[in-house]
Amino acid sequence: MHRTLADDLARLPDLLQSARDLAARELAGVAERPVVRLDEAPDREPLPAEGAGGEAALTRFQERWAPGLSGSTGPRYLGFVTGGATPASVTGDWLTSAYDQNVSGAAGSWAAALERETVDWLRELFGLGEAHSGAFVTGATVSNTVGLAVAREWLGERLGVDVSRDGAAALGPVDVLSGSPHSSVTKALSVLGIGRNRLRHVPVLGGNREAVDVARLDAALAELKGRPAIVVANAGTVNTVDFDDLRAIAALKERHDFWLHVDAAFGGFAALSPPTPISSTDSTRPTRSASTSTSGSTCPTTRPCSSPAAATSRSGCSTTRPRTWARRPATRTSSTSRPRTPGACAPSPPGSPSWPTAAPGTARSSSATWPSRTGSARASPPSRGCGCRRRSG
C-alpha cells in the first residue's frame, strides 16, 4: 500500500474529526458568509506530481476554495430553489460514503431493501397507491429523464416498437406537448433521442399565468388524429410556482391517447401543506402516467415520484404508475389524524382531494427536506423535503 494512503487510513478518525470541525464552523458562520461570490476563482494549477494526503488536501481546500463557495445553505440565498441541508441529511450523506454500498441488486447487502422501504415511505407520505414504484437518481434533470424514458417505452408499446432493441428512431417523429416545460425537459428529450425540436409549446392562460390552456391542449391533441403523444404537465412551475389543471388534463384521456408526465419538482410538497387550497371535485377514471419530483427538498437518496420528491443538489427520484392503479384513500387514520393528499398524475376517486389548481405564487412546497443528495440509498430515514431543488445540470 502506498505510504500516503496507509497514513490516511491510520489517521482516519482524525481526518473525519477535522472534516467535522470544518463543516461545523462553516454552518455556524453561514449568516456571515457572502450569499454569492462574483469575483474570479483562483487560476488553475497543474496536477501535483504526488498526492498530498487527506489532511493536506483538506487544508488546501479550506484555504483555497472554501472562501469562494456561496452561502446556499443559508436563508438569504434565493438564486435557485436549493433545499437546505438538515443535520440528518448531512449525517446521512456521511454514512452513505462510509458504507459505500452497491445497490444495483439485492444480493449481499440490505442496502437495496433500505432504498425500497424509503420509496414506500414516500409513497405513503403522499397518499399514493400500492401500484406506484420508484427509484432514486442523481437529481431533478435525471428524474425527468427517467420519467420520460418510461414514456418513450409506452410509446413503443402503442406503436408496436421495441425501443430498447430498435432504438428511438424506430418510433418515428414523437409529439411532446407542454405549456411551460422546465429546461430539463428539453435536455431529457435530447438525451433520449426524441429530440428537442419535438417539444411543442401549447399556449398558456392569460393574466401572466404559466399554466397551460387546457382547451388549447385539447385542440392540439385533436390535431394528432389519434397518434399517441406525451404531455408534460407542471405541479409548480420554475418561475411562479403555477399549477396546471392536472385533473382537467387527465380528463382529456377520455378522448385522446397520451402519456401524462407530471413535473412536481417545485410544487409537489404543496400537497402536504395545510394552507394550500385543495379542490375536492374529481373524476374517477385512472390514467397511465409517470411523474417526477425533484424540487424543494431531497429524497433520502436523492428527487420522488408521481408526486414530489427531489433533492438539494438535484438529487431526486422518479416513480411511475403501471396500467392498473388504485389510489390509496386520501385520508388515513394516524395518531395526529393528519390528512394526506394524493398525487396528481391521475384523477382521484370520488371524495378524495386533488392537486391544487392555484394562481401563481399561492402554492409553495414544504421547507422540509429528506436526508441526502447523491445517488445511492441513504442511511437515514426522511427528515428533509423533496420538492424544491436547484435545477442545474
- Mean pLDDT over the full length of the chain: 75
| Cα gap 112→48, rounded to integer Å | 38
DSSP string, 111-173: HHHHHHHHHHHHHHHTT--TT-EEEEESSHHHHHHHHHHHHHHHHHHHHT--HHHH-GGGG-S
373 pLDDT more than 60: no
Helix (H, G, I), strand (E, B) or coil at 299: coil
Tell me how crowded residue 79 is: count the other CB atoms within 10 A of its CB.
10
356 pLDDT more than 50: no
pLDDT (mean) for 74-92: 81
**Per-residue 3-state assignment (H helix, E strand, C coil) for 63-118:** HHCHHHCCCCCCCCCCCCCCCCCCHHHHHHHHHHHHHCCCCCCCCCCCHHHHHHHH
274 band by pLDDT with thresholds 50, 70 and 90: confident
110 band by pLDDT with thresholds 50, 70 and 90: very high
pLDDT in tens, 23-46: 999 988 888 888 998 999 999 999
Question: Where are the alpha helices (H) located in 238-358, listed in sequence order?
Answer: 246-251
pLDDT value, residue 75: 82
| Cα gap 293→310, rounded to integer Å | 5
DSSP string, 220-268: HHHTTTT--EEEEEEBS-TTT--B--HHHHHHGGGT--EEEEEE-TTTG
Rounded percentage of the chain residues whose pLDDT exceeds 70: 69
Q: Between residues 254 and 317, which one has the greater pLDDT?
A: 254
Is the Cβ–Cβ distance between 240 and 268 less than 8 Å?
no
pLDDT in tens, 114-151: 999 999 998 888 888 888 888 888 888 899 999 999 99
Q: Which of 53-57, 157-161, 362-366 has the lowest mean pLDDT?
A: 362-366
Q: What angle do CA 349, 351, 355 make, to 5 degrees?
A: 70
The three three-digit cell numbers of residue 310, written as one number: 427531489
pLDDT value, residue 120: 93
